[in-house]
Structures are given as C-alpha cells and as structure tokens.
Amino acid sequence: MIRSLRGWASLWILAAMGAGVVAAWLWLSSTQAWRSHLDNAAQTGRDLAGTVLLGAPLSGETRLVALGRSAPTAPPPGATEAGLPSSARITSLAFRQPGPDGAGQGGGVRLQVQVVSASLQYPVADLGAEAGAYGGMAALSRKLGQLCSDPVVFLRADNGPWWRVESPLWSCAAQPRDWRIGALALAGVALMALLSHAADTAGGFRDFARGLAARRRPGQTADLALTGPEELRATITAVNGYLADERARLARRAMVLSGVSHDLGTPATRLRLRAALIEDTELRARFEDDLDRMGAMIEEVLTFTRAEIAAEGAREFCLAALTEAVVDDYRDTGRPVGMTLAAPASMDTAQTVFALGRPRRMALPEARRLLFTGRPLALERALSNLIENALKYGRRADITLRAYSERVVLEVQDAGRELDADSLRRLTNPFQRGDNLTDADGTPISGFGMGLSIVATIAAQHGGELEFEQRPQGLCARLILPRG
C-alpha cells in the first residue's frame, strides 16, 4: 500500500498520463471514424446523383428501386408502403445540375428529392442550391448520415420515374460509436479524483497546522494525531517529540528551582534567627529586608517557571466574576482599584408577523456573555500582577473588561509616567524594569522585573497577547484572550 507522498505523486502522475492518453485516443478515434463515415455518406450522395442523372453504376451496398411515375406535386409511389407511419415528416427539395450550354446530358436537369422520416424534419436551408445536384446530394447525404432517424429517400430527374434509395449508411446502426463524451468524462473523472486526493493530502497538512496552533489554547496537551502521508507523519512525530522534550525540560527546571527554594529555606531561617541577635536596629532591618527580597525573588522565578509549564487544567468559568473577586480583594485593603464592565451585549430583534413595529434591542445574559475557557488560577495571577504593576508605578488601577464574540479584552489603566516604545517592549522580558523605579517622593519601588513576564507567558498559553498603549492619563496594559 502506498503511504508516502512521493509514491502517491508518482501514481497520480502516471494515472493522469494514462487517462490523458486513453481520453485522447478515444477522442481522435471517434473523430476519425465519424469523418470517414460522413465522407462515405457524401460520396454515396454524389454516386446517387450520377446514377439518376447519367445512369452511372452504383458501388457498395447502396441500391435504387424503381417505383414509377406520379404528378410533380404528388408523393412518390410506394411511399406509404415503405414502413413509415402516416404521420411521417417529409422533407422536399430539388437541385438543378447545369450543363456547359444549359442542355445536353445532365445539363439543366432538375433532381427532385424527398426524404421521409418518422421523427425528423431535416434542415436543408444551408445545403446551398448553387452547388448543383452532385454537391447538393453530397451535403444532403452527409446530413442524413449525421442525424439518427433511419430515413427513406426518394429521387427522380425532372418528370422521370421515382427511385427509392436503399442505403445502410443512413441508418442509426451504421453510425460509429461516439466516444468523445466518454473521453471527456474519463478526463473529468481523473481530474476530479486527482484534485480530491490533492485536497485530502493538503487537508492533512492543514489539520496539522491547526492542531499545532491549537496547542496554544488551554488544555491542549495531547500529542498531535498521526495522519496523512509518511512525510507528514514523520514531521508530526518529530514535533510531538520536541514538545514532549520541552515539557520535560520545563518540569526539570521547575523541580530544580523548587529544590533550590527548599534548600535555601533552612539557611534563610538560620540567617533570620542570627539577624535577630544583631543589636543594631538599622542593620538588623536591612539584613531582614535583604532576606525578604531574596525569598521574593526566588518565589517570582518559581512562579514564572510554573507559568511556563502550565500544569493547571483548563475549565470553563465566568471571567467577570473572577475579575470582580480580584478587584474586591484590593478594595477591601483600601487600594485605589476601580472596575468597569462593558455595556451589556445586546442585539436587534427582527420584525415578524407576530412582532410588528420598530425593532427593539434585547440584552443578552451577562453570565453567558463572559463565559471563558482557560486556567482561572493563572489568569488570577496575571490580573494581580497587572494591578500590582499599575499600583506600584501608576498610583491607581482602573480595570475595564470587554467581551466580544471571539475574544475578551482586559484593560488595566494606571496614572503613571510616560514610557517610550522601547521601554514598553522590554517590560515583558524577565528581570526587565522600566525607568520609573522611584515614586513621586523619590522612594525606590521594589520589584524584580518578573511580573509582566509572567503575564505575557500566561497570555501566550491562552493563545492571546499582552499589549501596551501610552495614553494621556497614563499607561494602559491590554490583555487580549481568544474565546473558544
């Protein structure tokens, strides 16, 4: 069984070439057969004209049967005995064969023709009377051989006897098989099969790309499914292996940092006990402050690593309730934190026979509007970091939550100092801090430059991003998270 993309490509190239050759052969052979059939019919028409006008012998299977005379406008004798129904259609026409001087053998002779068919009235306006009896009969015979009707043809020269023509060339059975429609169908089926398989193969690569992009969303930790040709399967296997190694590497990093934090705990405790024995109050306070900063720094690094691992499972929750809970915690401690929910989502009602009048706006349920699937603890940490950052450097934090059909936007606006674009871009890098490291009184602001790095990591794990916008009233941090 063919599994590789190269094998399928080779197979379909050969199949397309084979289908093209067969279709071309069917088309050309049918065209040649019909050309030969119509040429024979045209030659038979010329021979009939020569036999009736000049008495030339007939060749092939065509025969003339003498019927007798009748009035010029009367039907040929024996027409009703030819096996045709009384409702048969009669096509009458005449050709004049001029001679060199308008007289003599074949000169100025009028050849009358009547074609009796059970179903067709033959179009003869395009035959051309100027072609003479020979050319006219050739064109008529070609037309009779082209249309399937099993006609009966009667001929006579001037007022001579009528002749009934018996020729197998004009019968439906004598027509060659026309494979041209079959050739087009074969080429179309081969093309559709090729396009279908190509679309299916391209769909495998598209599904792989979508699955890889979906891993940015919460809860997507399973290996990518092995589908498609061998080349795609090898790529998926390599990507799955790389992702597994990356998860293991992050887990080992967290384990090492957790071990370091645990191992530093005992010496830090001893240092605190020894610091308590220092009689100099100012020195003891500085010593304890350094120990606190060291512990906080280790905890920040651990939090950043845990955020990279994304060990928390994803679930559905109300993002508005989570945001309100975090804001209420800050308000309970007297911190200047405000919150604004976007206007309730609404839609226009349509007019129906049961609800006439002007359309009205109907508010949608808020709980349903702000349902979100993600990691609530991680998002709580991200929101807390944004609020802490706004309070440290901007004196206050105003939170605005906006919900759309495809995304949720969480804005944290502060009243801080103006920062340039380069400073804003550096803020999401680990251990990077802005230039405003002191408050309005000149007091140093504590921090390690990990808060926004953690927020950016959590946003990326949810398939979102962290943006900054400098506004007249201060800096706005915008957390954009896709829904679903």
pLDDT in tens, the chain (484 residues): 777 888 888 888 898 899 999 999 999 999 999 999 999 999 998 899 888 888 888 877 888 888 877 654 555 655 555 555 666 788 888 888 876 555 444 457 888 888 888 888 888 877 766 668 888 889 888 888 888 888 889 998 887 888 888 888 888 888 888 888 999 999 999 999 988 888 888 888 888 888 887 776 655 667 788 888 888 888 888 988 888 888 788 778 777 767 777 677 778 788 878 888 888 888 888 888 877 777 777 776 676 666 666 566 778 888 888 999 999 998 988 888 888 876 555 555 555 555 555 666 555 555 445 788 888 888 888 899 899 888 887 788 899 998 888 889 999 988 876 666 566 667 777 656 555 555 555 554 555 567 788 888 888 888 888 888 888 888 888 999 988 6
Instruction: Output the pLDDT for position 106.
Output: 45
Instruction: Output the pLDDT for position 172.
Output: 84
**Chain centre distance of CA 39:** 51
Instruction: Output the pLDDT for position 56.
Output: 84
CATH number of 240-311, picked from 2.60.120.10, 1.20.1250.20, 1.10.287.130, 3.40.50.720:
1.10.287.130
What residue spans in the chain does CATH classification 1.10.287.130 cover?
Answer: 240-311
28 phi, psi to nearest 5 deg: -70, -40
**pTM of the full structure:** 0.54
Instruction: Output the pLDDT for position 358.
Output: 61
Residue among 27, 412, 423, 461 at smallest CA distance from 221: 461
Gyration radius of the chain's alpha carbons: 47
CATH class of the region 313-343+369-484: alpha beta
Instruction: Output the pLDDT for position 367.
Output: 44
What residue spans in the chain does CATH classification 3.30.565.10 cover?
Answer: 313-343+369-484
